[in-house]
Amino acid sequence: MGVDSTGAMMHGSSQGPEGNKWLWNEEGVMMGKKMTTRTTVTLTNPSELEVRGEVESEPGKWMPMEEDSCKKSKGVT
């Protein structure tokens, strides 16, 4: 579930991990319009993952919306 200060709201679910990937299917409202999105989270190695978001522009047609990568910090010594 996600909500932001602009009035956007999304909720989604996942079947859980399949290998090193999790696929989330989401429904909600962005900029006053109903939206269908999906987010794929891929564990690329034990300390790094990639997140890719897509929006359904037409039924069955997906467009890239966001792409991020996260790396675990080794901390400050």
Q: What is the pLDDT along the chain (77 residues), one digit of tens a residue?
A: 888 888 889 999 999 999 999 999 999 998 889 999 999 999 999 899 999 999 999 999 999 999 999 998 876 65
On whether residue 41 sits in a domain, the answer given is: yes
CB 66 within 8 A of CB 52: yes
On whether residue 34 sits in a domain, the answer given is: yes
On whether residue 77 sits in a domain, the answer given is: no
On whether residue 75 sits in a domain, the answer given is: no
On whether residue 72 sits in a domain, the answer given is: no
Q: Could you list the residue range(s) of the whole structural domain that residue 60 is in? A: 2-66
From residue 58, give the alpha-carbon distance in Å to each of 7, 31, 40, 55, 66. Answer: 23, 17, 19, 9, 18
Beta bridge partners of 71: 48
pLDDT of residue 65: 92
Q: Indicate the pTM of the whole model.
A: 0.81
Number of domains in the chain: 1
pLDDT of residue 11: 95
**Residue 57 CA, distance from chain mean position:** 16
